[in-house]
Amino acid sequence: MKLHYDFPGFVFLIIAAFALLVAWFLYRKDHNFGREKWGLIALRSISLFLIILLLLDIFLESKKDVEMKPVIIVGFDNSESVFLKDSARIDQITSDWQNLVDQLKQNYDVVSLKIGDNTVENEELNFTDKKSNISNFFEEIKDRYYNSNIGAIILATDGIFNDGMNPVYTSEKLNYTPIFTVGLGDTTPIKDLKIINIFHNDIAFLKNKFPLELDLNAEGLKGQSTRLQILRDEKEVYKEDLDIETESFNQTKKILLDAEKVGINKYTVSLSEVAGEEISTNNSRTFYINVIDSRQKVLILANAPHPDVGAIKFAVENNSDMEVSSSNIADFKGKIKDYDVIVLHNLPSSKFGVPEEINNSKKPLLIVVGGQTDLNKLNRMNLGFTYSGNWNTDAVSPSINQSFSAFKLDDRFNKVFKSSPPVFSRFAKVKFNGANSVFLYQKIGSIVKDEPLVFFNELNGIKKAVINADGIWKWRLNDYNENETTENFDNLIDKFIQYVAVKEDKSNFRIKTKAIYNENEDVVVSAELYNDAFELVNTSTVDFVLKNEAGELFNYSLLPYEDIYKLSLGKLKKGLYTYTAKTELNGKSYTKTGQFLVKEILLEYINLQADHGILKTISKNSEGQFIGKNEMNTLADLIQTDKQIGSVVYQEKNYKDIIDYKWLFVIIALCLAIEWWLRKRLGTY
């Protein structure tokens, strides 16, 4: 044991001397005692000394040896591919696995993990996971059990992964831990015809053609024929007979289909079953296309040709929801009413004004205020902001406003501005009138100014995005130089235009869902209900009726959650769902309808040939061992005979304040009691 204190050691001598001095002072004039006097002084000194020590921050350190048993982490693949290939023996395999776990628990601490879409602990196997993310299994071990005495890792899987990194690389992060792998599934090539991938746009426009690309594969079916068929809502829109000419047959089909019906259209692609193929589930795939009547039209009007105009135009063109036109203001002959969003570059200028039709139309605007912009004319447009001060320009860099909340910030914005060259902004100060939000501030060197570089404003219901600089084309070029793509810059401009173009929902009752869910994720619905003062309330009942493609109705109620309502529908089967939500508030009835899509995931059906080579590599690299699924009962002996897997003994230190030791109070009480008894016995009490 060891004492810990925050003062010099000689303080103990001072305290002892003080206690002795006080005790002597109390007894100095007492002549009724002989030699007993020094015994009484000693007792009083000890009690005083201990009382003073208890008032100080003194801790007593103690040590003890702690044995940490080895932890054996076992993970079993819960994905669909395991069941599809081992379905005939799955009960026996899972029984052998459970026996192995029970044996290991007799001598080790065992952690059981289930592997699939993600890695979870202590859940029953049901083989329903739509993805195999084996790398996540090793990442979870590294993150959650890093400080544990991991003796060994046992991984039972078919080696097929279709999500995450290659598990060989992630397993290497677990240094000095032997990994024993159990090969599930079957490495024998199977006779199978399948649709590997379908590539398509999510949106098409009415009466246009949209492209469809199919990757088809057949193994071991040379000489057979199949029919490729595409149905739209049960109506055949394409068919073709295909001959399988090789043992390993791969073909990519590029097809153009007509967008004939507005709304979400269901398409089914299928290959007719071929004699001899072992699995037919992957012969059919379903996808959905949202056919809309028209795109948003964007007009770019410029004072003069400028590379910024090209950069903005290219960015907008990459959004399939938008159609863009650009023109110098002097050459524009069109009609403003035909466009949804107007982009003004260096307008108004000293030479050109902004057509009155733009102000009267109340169209959302994206304004680029550059060196040619006439700020006096711009101020007179009453847009909700005005410029004042010096009209000169200066080179500035962007600085993201981290408290910006008009739309979600993500890493793509950082990539645009990483090492970005400066742009040229006016010295003028901006004064706001109406709602405003700054996205980027101006930065010169390491100093961030209060002046905005990009801001958003809304006045009288009209939204504006303002880029307060010339030269944003350099941001696009920098994006390509840094990231070998311009999609980050394109996303930036797309966000600006989408923000000003989207009309705010001002209804009292609002339902929020995602447009598309995967079949392996929970469907969550939220609702907002506002009173006449537009304050959130959740005292009413919200009824929610869900309808699937088969016409079945399911009734729910959204529950109050903080200031809003929420409902978790869990995981739903693939298909298009429509809903109707109803509520009442202050005598008024509100109804909202909508739809969302649950997408099918068939990754586990694409490749069913087990890859035990990956498992053997993992075991070899970690000095573990690979075994077949039929040898699972030997694993417990392999673990127990491995001399490297053993307990770890370490010293654990404990610190305790001496005031917590009750025996000190006992000593103090005994000293005082004995002193009192002696004084009484000697006749002084």
- Which residues 6+ apart lie within 8 Å of 244 measured at CB? 193, 218, 221, 222, 223, 224, 225, 226, 274
Give residue for tokens 């007179």: 380
Mean pLDDT to the nearest integer, 564-580: 93
Over the stretch 634-664, which tens digit does the pLDDT of each residue have?
888 888 887 777 766 656 777 788 888 888 8
Express as a percent the part of the chain with pLDDT over 90: 41
Over the stretch 123-179, which tens digit does the pLDDT of each residue have?
788 888 888 889 999 999 888 887 788 888 999 998 888 888 889 988 888 878 899
Mean pLDDT to the nearest integer, 396-423: 86
Quote the CA–CA distance of 436 and 464 in Å, as a whole number: 9
Q: Which two tokens stand for residue 422?
A: 């400066």
Which position has the higher pLDDT, 533 or 397?
397
pLDDT of residue 476: 93
Which position has the higher pLDDT, 524 or 70?
524
Over the stretch 503-555, which tens digit does the pLDDT of each residue have?
777 789 999 998 889 888 899 999 999 998 888 999 999 999 999 999 999 99
pLDDT of residue 155: 93
Q: Which two tokens stand for residue 592?
A: 């909202």
Over the stretch 468-501, which tens digit does the pLDDT of each residue have?
999 999 999 999 998 889 999 999 999 899 888 8
User: 457-486 burial string, b = 16+ CB within 10 Å, else e?
Assistant: bbbeebbbbbbbbbbbbbbbbbbeeeeeeb
Question: SS3 letters for 13-76?
Answer: HHHHHHHHHHHHHHHCCCCCCCCHHHHHHHHHHHHHHHHHHHCCCCEEEEEEEEEECCEEEEEE
Question: SS3 letters for 445-477?
Answer: CCEEEEEEEEEEEEECCEEEEEECCECCHHHHH
pLDDT-based confidence at residue 34 (cuts at 50, 70, 90): low
Mean pLDDT to the nearest integer, 238-266: 92
Give residue for tokens 């989408």: 498
Q: In the β-sheet with 192-200, what is the strand arrangement from edge to edge?
A: 192-200, 209-219, 248-258
pLDDT-based confidence at residue 9 (cuts at 50, 70, 90): confident
Quote the CA–CA distance of 450 and 440 in Å, as a whole number: 10
Q: Is the pLDDT of residue 684 over 60?
A: no
- Residue 624 Cα distances to 71, 139, 154, 634, 674, angstroms: 15, 18, 9, 14, 69
Size (the chain), residues: 685
pLDDT of residue 257: 94
Report the helix count and the strand count for the chain, using DSSP H and E.
16, 36
Quote the CA–CA distance of 393 and 377 in Å, as a whole number: 18
Over the stretch 54-67, which tens digit does the pLDDT of each residue have?
888 788 877 776 67
Q: Is the pLDDT of residue 405 over 60?
A: yes
pTM: 0.58
How does the average pLDDT of the chain come out, rounded?
Answer: 87
pLDDT-based confidence at residue 206 (cuts at 50, 70, 90): confident
DSSP helix/strand/coil, 528: strand
Beta strand 385-388 pairing with 341-345: unpaired
Which position has the higher pLDDT, 90 or 31?
90
- Residue in 539, 366, 393, 397 with CA at minimum distance from that of residue 464: 366
For helices 36-54 and 10-27, what crossing angle results, to 10°?
A: 140
Beta strand 119-121 pairing with 341-345: unpaired
Domains in the chain, CATH or no CATH each: 2-64+655-681 (no CATH), 70-188+609-646 (3.40.50.410), 192-292 (2.60.40.10), 296-501 (3.40.50.880), 509-599 (2.60.40.1930)
Quote the CA–CA distance of 76 and 123 in Å, as a whole number: 11
pLDDT of residue 65: 66
- Residue in 16, 51, 22 with CA at minimum distance from that of residue 671: 51
